Amino acid sequence: MAFDAKPFLQTVSSKPGVYQMYDAEGVLLYVGKAKNLKNRVSSYFRSSGLNSKTVALIQRIDSIHTTITGSETEALLLEQNLIKAERPPYNILLKDDKSYPYIYISDHEYPLLTLRRGKKVKKGQYFGPFPSATSVRESITFLQRLFKLRNCEDSYFNNRSRPCLQHQIGRCSAPCTKLISAEDYKSDLLHAEMFLQGKNQDLIIDLQNQMDVASESLAFERAAEVRDQIQYLRKVQEQQDIDAAQGNADVLAVHIEQNICAVHLAMVRQGRMLGSKAFYPKLNMGEIEEEALTGFIAQYYLSLGHEIPDEVVVSHELEDSSLLMDALSQKRSKKMRLTHQVRSERLGWLRLAQNNAQEAVRMRMQDRMQMTDRYLALKNDLDLDSIPLRMECFDISHSHGEATVASCVVFDQNGPQKGEYRRFNISGVQSGDDYGAMEQALTRRFKKVAKEGKKPDLLLIDGGKGQVGVALNVLSKLEIVDVPVLGVSKGTSRKPGLETLIMDGESFSLDSASPGLHLIQHIRDEAHRFAITSNRFQVSKARRKSALEGIPGVGPKRRRELIRFFGDAQQFQSASAAEIAKVPGISGTLAQEIYDALHEQ
Residue among 458, 461, 482 nearest 471 (CA): 461
Beta bridge partners of 68: 17
Q: Buried (b) or exposed (e) across 125-135, using 16+ Cβ within 10 A?
A: bebbbbbeeeb
What distance in Å separates the CA atoms of residue 374 and residue 382, rounded to the nearest whole number? Answer: 12
> Cα(first)–Cα(last) distance of the chain, in Å?
61
Residue 225, number of CB atoms within 10 A of its CB: 14
Q: Are strands 500-503 and 391-399 parallel, antiparallel or unpaired?
A: unpaired
Contact 116, 104 (CB under 8 A): yes
Strands (E) located in 321-381? 337-339
Task: Give me the pLDDT at residue 238, please.
Answer: 44
Q: Which alpha helices (H) appear in 10-108, and where do they start and end?
A: 37-42, 52-60, 72-86
Phi, psi of 163 (to 5 degrees): -60, 150
What distance in Å separates the CA atoms of residue 316 and residue 254, rounded to the nearest whole number? Answer: 8
Task: Give me the pLDDT at residue 96, please.
Answer: 59
What distance in Å separates the CA atoms of residue 141 and residue 413, rounded to the nearest whole number? Answer: 40
Residue type for position 138:
E
Contact 211, 230 (CB under 8 A): yes
* Domains within the chain, CATH numbers bracketed: 5-86 (3.40.1440.10), 249-362 (3.30.420.10), 391-541 (3.30.420.340), 556-600 (1.10.150.20)
pTM greater than the 0.75 cutoff = no
**What's the 3-state SS for 559-601?**
HHHHHHHHCCHHHHHCCCHHHHCCCCCCCHHHHHHHHHHHHHC
Say if residue 556 is preceded by a cis peptide, omega within 30 of 0.
no
What distance in Å separates the CA atoms of residue 383 and residue 377, rounded to the nearest whole number? Answer: 10
Give the count of alpha carbons within 13 A of 20, CB side only.
Answer: 19
Task: Give me the pLDDT at residue 193, please.
Answer: 82
Taking the chain (601 residues) in consecutive chunks of 10 residues, what is each chunk's mean pLDDT?
A: 82 92 90 92 86 86 91 90 88 74 88 84 82 78 82 83 84 88 86 75 74 75 72 54 60 91 87 81 86 92 87 92 92 91 86 91 86 90 90 88 86 87 88 88 86 84 92 90 89 69 90 89 92 80 62 78 70 78 84 78 50
Beta bridge partners of 30: 21
Task: Give me the pLDDT at residue 243, please.
Answer: 41
Residue 112, number of CB atoms within 10 A of its CB: 19
- The 337-339 sheet, strands edge to edge: 272-279, 260-269, 249-257, 311-314, 337-339
Alpha-carbon distance values, 442 to 480, 504, 523 (Å): 12, 18, 17
pLDDT digits (tens, 9 = 90+) for 258-280: 888 999 998 888 777 777 888 99
Task: Give me the pLDDT at residue 548, please.
Answer: 67
